[in-house]
Amino acid sequence: MEAGAARGAAGGYPVDVLEDDPDGCREAALAYYAALRAGTRPTEEVFSLPTGEQVTLEAPSVCFCSVHRDEPQHQILALVSPRDTKTVMAVHLQGSWWATEDVLRTSDPAREGLVKVQSFAERIVLFILNVVVFGRLERRLDNDDMFFLPFSGKEEAKVLWRDGAAVGFYTTKAKGSLCGNGTGACYLLPVLDTVFVRRGHRCRGLGMAMLQDFCEDFREDSALGVSWPISPAMLQVCRKFLSAHPEERGRLWEVEPPGAWGQRDSIWLKVQLGQSRLPDPLPGNPSEDGSSPGQTSQDDGPRQSRSGESSQERIGGVEPEEAKEDQDCAVGEAAAELPGRRCRAELDGKRA
């Protein structure tokens, strides 16, 4: 029997109908997996991929993935590609298999523009955009072993919805929030931490729109940060934004955590000088992309900041020919927390 991809007709898509119950979602997934593993499903099921290829739904082809890096009990059941077991093709929600592209859709016309992530269903959308789409499908990986961890369950984020689809997101670090695990240091100002726009929706000013939304959300704060190091692509977005909004020039700073005055650089000054400070490589370690010391490629891994916290480039670029048309096109590849092997362990090892 063909399981097929559930479609959001009258019933809506997962983000519209999924109950805000992560524990219940996990229990339902465990029950389905147990039946699949025991062979007690009524008939053999197959799932049709967008390419037309059919994948048999059996225990070796599915696995559990943690939606939050700090709450491993909040899991969803995922179907992985038979050709690449690190790539998620569909997830099991509401008793049906949903292709990842359908998980990123909505039938609610009111869900438009930047929407704050609050429900568990919206956290799943953020997970798919971050770990599956950016972390795998729309990112050039020189090192095939590099993966991106999910965000924290308390990560402050907004998803960008356009014409019924989630096409991007940005995350922030709140003033007073901890800079990281194992440290008592807290951010001294709100910080724009990650930005991502899907490839098919770039060159439309969406990166600048998210930067403006960030500034408007923290209108009462006299200083706002953008995580260091800022990529050349993001610097161009800042240039366009600050040229159009001169009142924001004194508020935006490139910052290292926790954001003390000695850890801030004026973004407008960088725009005026036409340069961006690049991170220093760790002592004894050559740059990962083979470039000269001190350079950072769009796919670099974590580097050590002056405060001792891991930091990495937040926004990368696109192909050079695309960037020639509009530097804002380059806004799209945002770092999704620290890369590591945990996601691979989930896809290759955590088959319940």
Question: What CA–CA distance (Å, rounded) separates 19 from 22?
Answer: 8
In the predicted model, is pLDDT for residue 328 greater than 50?
Answer: no
Question: What CA–CA distance (Å, rounded) separates 230 from 297?
Answer: 11
Which range (135-139, 157-161, 227-231) has the least confidence? 135-139
% residues pLDDT > 90 (the chain): 51
Residue bearing the bigger pLDDT, 37 or 310: 37
**Nearest CA to 129 among 95, 157, 109, 110?**
157
- Rounded to 5 degrees, φ, ψ at 183 are -135, 145
Q: What is the pLDDT of residue 5?
A: 53
In the chain, where the domains are located: 1-113+341-352, 152-335
Residue 341 gets which letter from DSSP? S
Q: What is the pLDDT of residue 208?
A: 95
In the predicted model, is pLDDT for residue 27 greater than 80?
Answer: yes
Question: What CA–CA distance (Å, rounded) separates 251 from 219?
Answer: 10
Q: What is the pLDDT of residue 291?
A: 27
pLDDT band at 323 (very low <50, low <70, confident <90, very high): very low
Prediction pTM value:
0.78
Q: What is the pLDDT of residue 293?
A: 25
The whole-number average pLDDT for the span 142-146 is 52
Specify the 3-state DSSP secondary structure of 191.
strand
Q: What is the pLDDT of residue 319?
A: 28
Q: What is the pLDDT of residue 10?
A: 54
What radius of gyration, in Å, describes the C-alpha atoms of the chain?
21
* 185 CB-contact burial (10 Å; exposed 0-12 / middle 13-18 / buried 19+): middle
Q: What is the pLDDT of residue 3?
A: 57
pLDDT band at 70 (very low <50, low <70, confident <90, very high): confident
Q: Encode pLDDT of 219-263 as tens digits.
A: 999 999 999 999 888 899 999 999 999 999 999 999 999 999 999
Note the Cα 230 to chain centre separation in Å.
17
Specify the 3-state DSSP secondary structure of 188.
coil
In the predicted model, is pLDDT for residue 23 greater than 70?
Answer: yes
Q: Are 121 and 15 in contact (CB under 8 A)?
A: yes
Residue 282 gets which letter from DSSP? P
Whether the upstream peptide bond of residue 229 has omega within 30° of 0, thus cis, is yes
- Rounded to 5 degrees, φ, ψ at 173 are -105, 120
Which range (41-55, 119-133, 242-256) has the least confidence? 41-55
Residue bearing the bigger pLDDT, 243 or 326: 243
pLDDT band at 141 (very low <50, low <70, confident <90, very high): low
Q: What is the pLDDT of residue 87?
A: 83
2-16, 170-184, 237-251: which has the highest mean pLDDT?
237-251
Q: What is the pLDDT of residue 34?
A: 92
User: Whole-number mean pLDDT of the chain?
Assistant: 77
How close are the terminal C-alpha atoms of the chain, in Å?
24
In the predicted model, is pLDDT for residue 193 greater than 70?
Answer: yes
The whole-number average pLDDT for the span 10-36 is 90
- Rounded to 5 degrees, φ, ψ at 124 are -65, -40
% residues pLDDT > 70 (the chain): 72
In the predicted model, is pLDDT for residue 104 greater than 60?
Answer: yes
Q: What is the pLDDT of residue 266?
A: 97
Q: What is the pLDDT of residue 113?
A: 97
